[in-house]
Each structure stands twice: as structure tokens, then as C-alpha cells.
Amino acid sequence: MKAVGYFVEGARRNGSKRSVGDQNRAFLDFCAGQGFEVAATFLDIEQAGAGDPGFAQMLQFLEMPGRGFMVVVVDGLTALGKDLGQAAMKLLTIENSGVQVLSMHSGGEAARELVTTWADRGDGTPVSERVRSAMRRKAVRGEVLGRPPYGYRVGPRHRLELVPEEALIVKYIFRLYLQENLGIRKIAGRLNEENVMTRRGGRWSMVTVRDLLRNRAYLGTYTRFGVKVPGSHAPLVSAEEFRRVQERLQAHGGASRERTVVPFLLSGLAYCGRCGNKMIGVSRRQRWTTKDGEARAAAYRYYQCESRTNQNACGYNTQRAAELEAVVRERLAEDSPGVTRLRRAGNADSYLLDLMSQVERVEGKMRKTRRQVEELVADAAHGIITVERMRTIGGGMAREQRAFEADLAAAKDRLAAQQSEADRRRHLQELRERLVREWDALEFGELQSALREVVDRLEVDGTDVRLFLRA
């Protein structure tokens, strides 16, 4: 088996700083003792986060095809991060590539050393983790945490109590779905037509109806933090009704078959010219049998007004995806699209504001993922989940974090490109020309990113399509 060494200048072991030379000698001795073949070593000077150049180069090396069986060896957890949270994120990122991380400090798996170290902190446990543990204990007692589901309120004993008028609506929704055989979109439309408001006074959508139908709270079971307390409050549906609803939802959603999600190019750019809501991408599959008995199938992709899709409101404003995308391509190729950019932020440059907001959003998502990873490790440290379960769930979080890091780097690059008004205009013109010239050759992600930089908004009303460019 081959071994890769990852060193960080100044990493500590037992409170003492370790030079790169010390780490390298220990690595060679470790490999000799374990019978590992040295494949490569990577170095970072400072622990600045998952974007360290040595760490990034190591990930690229680990993801190369034909690498064979391999492990990554570190001096200890401090070589992965200044704190346990950062170490956990880096460790899960490495292991998500299918490579195990070993620690020379413990002589075994770094993941188990991480969990053990986390559990041994004692009084050093963060307040947030202690609060989480206290909330889990409350959940075991059936005490309500957070906002109660529609149909209930929090009573004086911190238990769920019925809200009569809302409870009737919950039963009505289940009856429409089971007895009248209405789909979730038509149920949302029926509620909106009858002027039934959500708890916040808003309109019902497919998402709110679907989530309500899936909520096990209506069985009288309280669920939070992985804890289930049956019979904690009055139910609104029977177990048989709930089972039938879930079976129908699962059958309709095709949860048993694997789905391939193909993103839509104009997502976030197209808006309905009638109601102003977004046009969202919708995919449909259709199967039929011809008169000759031949079975056929086809897939359709189109953009549809979100008000109609989710709330059964607005008109039938629908465009085939390929046709609408072709119109955008043609308009970009025109010498003058005929419509100037919308100024949605007064005299301020809305695109720059959008970019800065995008950076903030991505950074917020990265912080949230980091907190989720820390909670995951804490659950493993407290014996709530196994280390293997931590690895499985954490691998998905690590993938998300890497995607966020790529999005953040791209957004910051676009911000840097906006150096001055003249540079910005020239940059947009060059990008527009590149879109026209290389539309078919660009990868989807690059094409979509360039479109979002050049196009400010696309308003669609039947055959009337208006393209607003940034200027």
C-alpha cells in the first residue's frame, strides 16, 4: 500500500511545535514500520483553511485515476487544523475521496482520534454543544423545541396543543389528497381559491402542502434531534391514513428509482412577464403505446411560471427550455438587443451588489456546513451515531463544502474583474462576444456563470421575450 504524507509547518504534538523535518522523519519511520511505500508528500506553511495550496494539490493527486490503494498520513490532528472543527472538515474532505487518514500521534485512524479527543474535552466543550445536548434531553421528554407545526401551538406544559381552526385545515388537506384524489398542486390551488391563508398569512404552495402531508407530528408523534416520542399530543390523522398518504407520495414521486437532476441554464434569470414571479425549470417524462403496440417514451423540459407550478395561480405561461434558450442566444448575437439593463438598485451597480451578496451567501453556507460537521462529530463523540455513520454523512457535507469553496473563489474572481467602469464595460462586451462564439463549446457551469454575468433579467410572456443586459 502507498502512503501520502501531509505536513504543516508549525503543527503541534503534545503541545510542542513540530518542524517539517521532524514530521518527515516520523513519516518515513512510520511507513517503514507499517510496510507502506511512500507515494508523495505535500506541505503547507500556515494553517489557513481548506484552501491551502498543499492541501489542494494533495486532493488533486488523490483524485487521479489509477492511484491504487493509498492512505494519507499526518503527524496528528493539528496538522489538519488549528481547531477540531477545522480538522474534522479536512479529514472528511480527504476521506470523501476514498482514502483513509492515519495519525502518527495515535498510530491509528485519525477519525477515531478525532472523536476520542472531542469526547475528552470535558469542560472545554463549546456552549453551543452543551445547549444542543440539553435540547436533546428536552426532546426526549416530548417538550416542544422551535416553531410548532401548522395545526398546533405550544401549551403551558411545553407540549403541542391543537389550534381548532388550523386543525380543520389539516384534516381538509388530508381528505382532499386521499378521498378526492387531488394532487398537491391542485390542493394548493383549491386553498388559495378559497382564500385559506397559511399561518403567516401567505399563499399555499406545493412545497407547503407536501411538507404538511409528510409531517409525522399529525400522528401524535413528536420528533426532534433523532428522538421520537409517540403519543406526546393529540393526533389529527390515523396511522392508516398517514401510511396511505406516504405510499401515494412515494409512488408519485418515484422515490424508488434513481433520479438524475439536470439543471436548467436560465434558472434565476427568467421571470414571468405577467405576474413578475420566477420562471422555474420543470421536467416531465411521458410514456405511451402507439396503435401498432410500440412502447415509446419522451422527456420534456420547459420553463413555467412559479406561481402556476407551486400555487396553481397565474396563467399558463410556459416555454420549452431549448426554444427559450435559443432565443436568448439569438438576442445576444444581435448588434443591439434593444433593451437596456434594469437599474434595480438606484444609481448603484446592482451587479456588484449581487456579487457581494453572493459572496456573503456562500460564506454563510460554508459556516453552516462547518457547524453541521461539528455537530456530527459531537454526536459520534457522545455515542449517538457510529464513527462509520459520521464518515458517511460527513462525506456529503465535505462535498458540499468543496463546491461552496469553488463558488466563493469564482464570485471573488468576478468581483476582482470589476475594477473600473471602463474595465467592467469592456469585460462584459468581451464576455458577451465569447458567449455568442463559444456557446456550444462551453461547459454548462461556465456557460451559466457567464450568462448570469452578462444578462440581468429575462421577462417572458408567451411569445414576447425581453432580454435585459447589464451595462
- Is a pLDDT exceeding 70 seen at residue 76? yes
- Is a pLDDT exceeding 80 seen at residue 205? yes
H or E segment to which residue 183 belongs: none
H or E segment to which residue 44 belongs: strand 37-44
Closest residue by Cα to residue 11 from 71, 60, 67, 55: 55
Burial of residue 174 (number of CB atoms within 10 Å: 0-12, 13-18, 19+): buried
Mean pLDDT across the stretch 321-327? 93
One fold for 2-123 and 139-253? no
What was the pLDDT predicted at 313? 65
What was the pLDDT predicted at 258? 47
Q: What is the DSSP letter of 77?
A: G
What was the pLDDT predicted at 298? 85
- Is a pLDDT exceeding 90 seen at residue 229? no
How do residues 120-155 score in pLDDT, each as one tens digit? 765 444 545 555 555 555 555 656 666 888 999 988
What was the pLDDT predicted at 65? 85
User: Which runs of consecutive H residues, i.e. helices, occur in 181-238?
Assistant: 184-193, 206-214
Mean pLDDT across the stretch 109-124? 81
Q: Read off the pLDDT band of 255 (50, 70, 90).
A: very low
What was the pLDDT predicted at 123? 46
Mean pLDDT across the stretch 1-27? 90
Contact 401, 92 (CB under 8 A): no
What was the pLDDT predicted at 163? 94
Buried b vs exposed e over 256-293: b needs ≥16 C-beta within 10 Å?
eeeeeeeebbbeebbbbbbbebbbbbbeeeeeeeeeee
End-to-end CA distance of the chain: 57
Q: Read off the pLDDT band of 83 (50, 70, 90).
A: confident
Least confident of 6-20, 196-210, 219-233: 219-233
Closest residue by Cα to residue 99 from 42, 14, 143: 42
What was the pLDDT predicted at 447? 93
Q: Read off the pLDDT band of 227 (50, 70, 90).
A: low
Domain positions in the chain:
2-123, 139-253, 270-322, 328-469
Question: Hey, what amino acid is at 80?
Answer: L
**286 Cβ partners below 8 Å, 6+ apart?**
297, 298, 299, 300
- Is a pLDDT exceeding 60 seen at residue 89? yes
What was the pLDDT predicted at 133? 55
462 compared with 219, residue with greater pLDDT: 219
How do residues 40-73 score in pLDDT, each as one tens digit? 999 998 654 445 889 999 999 998 888 788 999 9
What is the C-alpha separation between 50 and 47, in angstroms, rounded?
8
Mean pLDDT across the stretch 260-272? 85
- Indicate the class that CATH gives domain 2-123: alpha beta
Size (the chain), residues: 471
- Is a pLDDT exceeding 70 seen at residue 263? yes
What was the pLDDT predicted at 311? 65
Q: Read off the pLDDT band of 382 (50, 70, 90).
A: confident
- Is a pLDDT exceeding 70 seen at residue 257? no
What is the percent of the chain where pLDDT is above 90? 42
Instruction: Give the distance from CA 150 to its chain's centroid.
Output: 25
What is the percent of the chain where pLDDT is above 70? 83
- Is a pLDDT exceeding 80 seen at residue 341? no
What was the pLDDT predicted at 420? 65
What was the pLDDT predicted at 51? 58
Contact 190, 182 (CB under 8 A): yes
- Indicate the class that CATH gives domain 139-253: alpha beta
Residue-averaged pLDDT of the chain = 84
